[in-house]
Amino acid sequence: MKFLMIMVFMGLNFATPIALQAASKESNLEHDISQSPAPQITDAGLNLQQAEQLAVQRDSVSKSFKQNEMAFVDQARATDTWQDPRIKLGMQAVPIDTFDFEQENMTQLIVGYQQMLPRGDSNTHASESMMAMSRTQTALAQRRQRQVLMQVRQAWLDVVLQKKTLDIIQANRVLFEQMLDISQSFYASGRQQQQDVVQAELEISLVDDRLERARSALVVAKANLAKWVGEENMLKGVAADQADLRLPGMKSLAELKQHLENNPELIAMQQQVIGQQKKLALADDQYSPQWGFDVTYGFRSGNNGDNPANGERSDFLTAMVTLDLPIFTENKQDRNVSAEKQRLQATRYRQLDVNRELLKRLMAVMGRLQKLKDRHQLYEDKVLPQARQNAEVSFSGYQSGVVSFFTLTRARVTELNTRLADLQIDVAYNKAFAELQYLIGENS
């Protein structure tokens, strides 16, 4: 019996997988940002950093990826373990005439231990495949966090755009009111016709329409931002005055392409390829025979007069080794290996497509950023100063009676449009830069 217990202990001990020592290291997850304390929003309103933190904390999709990551780690540990052993207990060679356990020499109480061993390196390959899937979930969680940051930045910038648009339009409304006062004064003195007064009133009404459209767009932008940060965190509004709309600099295209290789989408595809390679190795393991061993102890009680020593009967010990022979492989192992090879190639094709798609997005974003930067420079150097000067000259000319009210109105509207266009360019640049950060990372 001692020998049997030693064999059982050895079987259970060897079932502990060596390969999972590495898996235990893989299970150390990165700090969950969702556990960080919620930011304190001041009376100035929600700034960009607070919006980013709230959005990441509230996102449930990235949390689901992290749960899947831990699930695959647990599954990898379970996979890289021997099958449960079997214990058999029973009686053998019992005489059915008397059922006397001591009547016959061969009557035995048997206790057996059976253990099947893994087929080839199947346990290791299956566990490594699960760990690759776990790392895939880690990469998908990182991709989701980048997506959340990009989306909340763009949503926050949309709110800033509409708030600053309102400020610009309201400031220009004051100028149009001044134009109305001047036109009424000139009409009262007989210097201008009533049409100028009507035109000025119409322009103010059109400005009011712009204000309403901007307010409507602001409501939509706030609703989109609230989706990420929560309605309760929008009560104090958005700190638009703290918005830094300066144009961030960019690195060279070669450097950006190098950083693109660390994009979580590519990493996820790389891990999927690794996982599929392990599945192919697992299919190859099916060609290996599966070994097993069986140890049985037979206890015999009583004695027998035919025994010269007239003592107790000797117990029996039986040890056997079993194995299966994968001979008929054409419609089983061969087909499984072929299927896994095709799945591996399909995964590589998807990896290539993801790489091309990310590169296309990088080139498109770089092109947009460069053109927006050129337009920003054009507005700063020429368009804005020219529009401002045109409005001032037209206003002076109208007061002097050498410029028509229509020309003055057109100059004021043009100045308003150029200021709004300049704001839109700056916001569009920062939104495109947020997409660039998604592609290449925060610190790239």
Query: Over the stretch 20-44, which tens digit does the pLDDT of each residue have?
Result: 343 333 334 334 445 566 676 777 7
Distance CA 93, CA 300 (A): 11
Indicate the residue among 280, 306, 323 that finishes a domain.
323
SS (H, E, C) the chain: CHHHHHHHHHHHHHCCCCCHHHHHHHCCCCCCHHHCCCCCCECCEECHHHHHHHHHHHCHHHHHHHHHHHHHHHHHHHHCCCCCCEEEEEEECCCCCCCCCCCCCCCEEEEEEEEECCCCCHHHHHHHHHHHHHHHHHHHHHHHHHHHHHHHHHHHHHHHHHHHHHHHHHHHHHHHHHHHHHHHHHHHCCCCCHHHHHHHHHHHHHHHHHHHHHHHHHHHHHHHHHHHHCHHHHCCCECHHHCCCCCCCCCCHHHHHHHHCCCHHHHHHHHHHHHHHHHHHHHHHCCCCCEEEEEEEEECCCECCCCCCCCECCCEEEEEEEECCCCCCCCCHHHHHHHHHHHHHHHHHHHHHHHHHHHHHHHHHHHHHHHHHHHHHHHHHHHHHHHHHHHHHHHHHHHHCCCCHHHHHHHHHHHHHHHHHHHHHHHHHHHHHHHHHHHHCCCC
Indicate the residue among 306, 323, 340 that finishes a domain.
323
What residue numbers bound the domain in which 109 lies? 87-116+290-323
Q: Is residue 175 part of a domain?
A: yes
Bridge partner list, 303: 312
Residue 409 shares a structural domain with residue 306: no
Residue 226 shares a structural domain with residue 259: yes
Q: Is residue 27 part of a domain?
A: no
Residue 266 shares a structural domain with residue 353: yes
Residue 378 shares a structural domain with residue 397: yes
Residue 77 shares a structural domain with residue 149: yes
Q: Is 414 exposed, middle or buried (0-12, 13-18, 19+ CB in 10 A)?
A: middle
Q: Is residue 159 part of a domain?
A: yes
Bridge partner list, 112: 88, 296
Q: Is residue 22 part of a domain?
A: no
pLDDT tens figures, 291-304: 999 999 999 876 54
Residue 135 shares a structural domain with residue 245: yes
Considering its fold, how many domains does the chain have in total? 2
Residue 297 shares a structural domain with residue 419: no
pTM of the shown model:
0.81
Q: Is residue 33 part of a domain?
A: no
With a cut of 70, say whether residue 414 has pLDDT above it: yes
Predicted pLDDT at 36 = 61
Residue 207 shares a structural domain with residue 99: no
CATH of the domain at 239: 1.20.1600.10
Residue 187 shares a structural domain with residue 294: no
Indicate the residue among 323, 340, 369 that finishes a domain.
323
Residue 364 shares a structural domain with residue 265: yes
Q: Is residue 38 part of a domain?
A: no
Residue 334 shares a structural domain with residue 410: yes
pLDDT tens figures, 118-167: 998 999 999 999 999 999 999 999 999 999 999 999 999 999 999 999 99
Residue 187 shares a structural domain with residue 256: yes
Q: Is residue 162 part of a domain?
A: yes
Q: Is residue 101 part of a domain?
A: yes
Which is more confident, 403 or 37? 403
Please provide the average confidence, as pLDDT, over all residues in the chain.
86
